[in-house]
Structure 1
Amino acid sequence: MRPTTSVGNLRCWHGQPNQESCRNYLNSGLPRRVLYYKRGEWIDFPQSTRKVIIDGFRGQIPCVHVFYGCEIILVDLLCMVMSNSRTKKHASVAWIDEADRCFFPRLSFDEGADEPSEQVFGVVRPPAFSVPAPQMVTEFIAGAGNEPPAPGPNIINLQRGTGSFRYMEKLFLLGMPSVVNSENVLAIYKYVPRDTNAQLRYQAFEGQFRSTKEKRRDANDRHAWFGSTTQEILRILTYGFGSEVAPTVLAAFGSGIYLTPLHRPFSSVNLCDVDGNGVQCMLLCQVTLGNMEQVRPGSLQNSPSSDEYDSGVDCNVVPRCYVVWPSHPDTRIHPKYVVFFKLPPNLQEYFFDLRDVRFDNNPIRNDPDFDRLSGPKQTFVSVAGHAINQHMPYTLLYTSMEHHISQIEKELLFRHHLDFQNGALTGESLIRKINMVLGYWLLVSTTLKRPGDHAAPYGDDMSRKRPNSVP
């Protein structure tokens, strides 16, 4: 049962709600369907979004933020309207409560309509036949108490083509196989701690940085990627790491918050959930690691083993995973950017099928030695229906490409070939993974050349050169 409330302690972001919309909100039971008006029809919000809106209704928070594709959308039940925070365009919102009572605005409109139209209840379609709304990338409740919510969740959109966007895009692509390119990067947001709680968390982070630097002489300040569900990532941007992020329990290196180094975002892709449009997101953080303690696989550790250490790492020489212990993580992890990306379905499947490379007992740390590998009896590479070097030994394939591919691609190829030799992959599966890692254009541009012909390696492409620092 929802607590009794009144108009006096509710506010609408768009201004004062009208009497009818107030009456609808106050008289309604808990919604079971929430809809928005689009091109003359009422369409159901996706289930995950509906849950967040209902949670806000239950907690007397009539305004909630959602991510609609890569746009910030404010859903305001008190005013019965939703608005795009960037374009400022609006559309009507309605709902049906658990008692099957309908609450619709008398006049409804969408962002493409010049004039409101009279509401017609008959156009509300049953859930089974509703046209799916574009799936929300993520959602979270924003705003509380008597004050209206901020217009955005402490983040600002970096415009594509600006220096900041290109810089962050380059950082992200640097740590991905070359088959992932700029077309796969949809949007990048910068975290800006604007509300009081966010500013306090940032002050605590800066205080910990100074304290660690004074104590250790080097704060060991690094940037690292955090992969998780989009809902959790956006909650982090609202509430911080401390209250919302559960440590990874019983993982390879103990119970803590796991991040991957700046040059390895590919190893966090399989931790990022996918929305109905195939969109994922990942968080880039600034981390104060201090003295890193090497943690052995299978450890049950959840704190530093002594006062000499501050954080955990899988390997001090070539780290592939950082572990921030769960005690007060907000003082050691500061979110900086969110990258939204969309991969083709077959590439998504590849990443989700990829064994978690952060937790390998025997990780590949040096340049892989392909000479000691033996390939399938027939290394058959089929691209777009064409056979390329049908009986080409795998070592010759690698020799023809080793100057054209990145260290990440070498690691992935070597890993898949080890799986083949250990019986975990069939020859056919191995070839599929080779095709996936290298991509069609790279295979064509290298395997059709004679070993003595040297094309410009991919690393000479300026778009893949590593920036010196993160802004």
Structure 2
Amino acid sequence: MNPNSVFNSLSDEQVLSESDCESTITSENSTVTTSSANFFNSDDLILLDETDSEFLTIKKKFLSNLGALANSVNDFTIHKNSFQSFMGQVKIQSYKLFSLATAKKKNPSSSSGNVQYAWFGSTKHGVQQIISHGFSQFDCSDDPDKKYGSGIYLLPEKYPLGSVALANRKDENGFKHVVLCRVVLGNMEEIRSGSQQFCPSSVEFDSGADNLLCPKKYIVWSTSMNFQILPEYVVSFKAPDSLDVPVSAAARPTSPWMSFTSLIRELSKHLTPLQMALIKKQYKDFKERKITRQDMIQVVRRTAGDGMLSGVIKSFYRGMDRANCATVYPSRNIIFSK
């Protein structure tokens, strides 16, 4: 994997190739040191130098999404999973095959299965177990905010603060640890709060999310967790206990928001019947999973215009309770709730 594109292509659907497998072990552009390779007592984990491009890219992304709280994080280290052991090679090949199979289940001509990066917070011991043996049932029960069934809860890469909250147990040296994983999400289904689900509801689905419009949690079921999740980097840092906010609070947005049904109602005051019919059809197609979230959003933006959307939502927001659950409207800091 090209170190410079670790986060630049997070939205791209991708699958590991043979060259990817090789480059995770050695990279011409990477500077690694083995002096702290046993920090986790794992031969597969290699400490990245602080001047390495991968280190700088991941650190910048992690801290930038913490906002003002980034100033409270220090002693930052990143270990890279080399997958150089026999079991490491088995894991990476299993992941590659699962990703390919997931992609072809949806589209025979596709070579990727909706792959995204996500964070998983754990203890030092938990990280060692994940790297050496994979995820386990213990990881399925680690989230204190466990409302969406029995599975591995991962947070999208733009919500690292939530993973910090999950890494709520410091090691003997005062470090907290989060794992940056590549995850095959495939076709996601929405998991309602309070669900007791522990596997896909049908063969049509591959993973779950708390909200399909803009998920704050990915749910990967234990039945396929070690084929579906590839732990690539371990981020370790020191942070004050005040950073241990609840996951629900960590993911809560602060920008103006409104429900999509309310948005449709408000837009109908400004748009023509033909324009509204187009928007309603897109929303219906999205709920029926005929189109992607991004497809729907692009049509709404082209039809209504960003200026009108921003004005309508900000006007509506003045009378709304900001404490309700919401989802981020990409690129514009506009937020929708289902």
Match of 1:193 among 83, 88, 91: 83
After superposition, give the CA deviation of every residue in 1:81-137 in whole Å (9 maximum; x if it has no partner): xxx95189xxxxxxxxxxxxxxxxxxxxxxxxxxxxxxxxxxxxxxxxxxxxxxxx9
More relative contact order in 1 or in 2 (CA 8 Å, sep 6+)? 2
Superposition pairs of residues 355-394 of structure 1, within 5 angstroms: 355-357=246-248, 364=253, 367=256
Pair 1:260 & 2:209 matched: no
State which structure, 1 or 2, has the greater radius of gyration over its C-alpha atoms. Answer: 1
Q: Whole-Å Cα distance in 2 between the matches of residues 365 and 302 of structure 1? A: 32
Q: Whole-Å Cα distance in 1 between the matches of residues 249 and 74 of structure 2? A: 23
Contact kept in structure 2, 1:314 and 1:322, CA below 8 Å: yes
- The alpha-carbon deviation at position 356 of structure 1 amounts to 2.5
- The alpha-carbon deviation at position 328 of structure 1 amounts to 2.7
Q: Structure 2 counterpart of 1:338, which letter?
A: V
- The alpha-carbon deviation at position 358 of structure 1 amounts to 7.6
Distance 1:214 1:175, change over 3 A: same
Match of 2:129 among 207, 214, 235: 235
**TM-score scaled by structure 1?**
0.43
Indicate the residue corresponding to 1:86 in structure 2.
35
- The alpha-carbon deviation at position 168 of structure 1 amounts to 1.2
Contact kept in structure 2, 1:220 and 1:289, CA below 8 Å: yes
The DSSP-based 3-state class of the residue aligned with 1:340 is: strand
Distance 1:248 1:342, change over 3 A: closer
Name the one with the larger helix percent. 2
- The alpha-carbon deviation at position 365 of structure 1 amounts to 8.1
Which segments of 5 or more consecutive residues in structure 2 lack a partner in the other structure?
1-32, 259-320, 324-338
Match of 2:119 among 192, 203, 225: 225
Contact kept in structure 2, 1:291 and 1:309, CA below 8 Å: yes
Distance 1:235 1:358, change over 3 A: farther
Q: Whole-Å Cα distance in 1 between the matches of residues 253 and 73 of structure 2? A: 30
The DSSP-based 3-state class of the residue aligned with 1:241 is: coil
Superposition pairs of residues 210-359 of structure 1, within 5 angstroms: 210-217=100-107, 219-242=113-136, 245-247=139-141, 251-272=146-167, 273-343=169-239, 345=240, 348=241, 350-352=242-244, 354-357=245-248
Q: Whole-Å Cα distance in 2 between the matches of residues 155 and 366 of structure 1? A: 39
The DSSP-based 3-state class of the residue aligned with 1:260 is: strand
Pair 1:160 & 2:56 matched: no
Q: Structure 2 counterpart of 1:193, which letter?
A: F
- The alpha-carbon deviation at position 171 of structure 1 amounts to 1.7
**TM-score scaled by structure 2?**
0.59
Indicate the residue corresponding to 2:98 in structure 1.
208
Tell me how large the CA RMSD over aligned residues is: 3.3
Q: Whole-Å Cα distance in 2 between the matches of residues 206 and 323 of structure 1? A: 19
Q: Whole-Å Cα distance in 1 between the matches of residues 122 and 60 of structure 2? A: 21
- The alpha-carbon deviation at position 280 of structure 1 amounts to 0.8
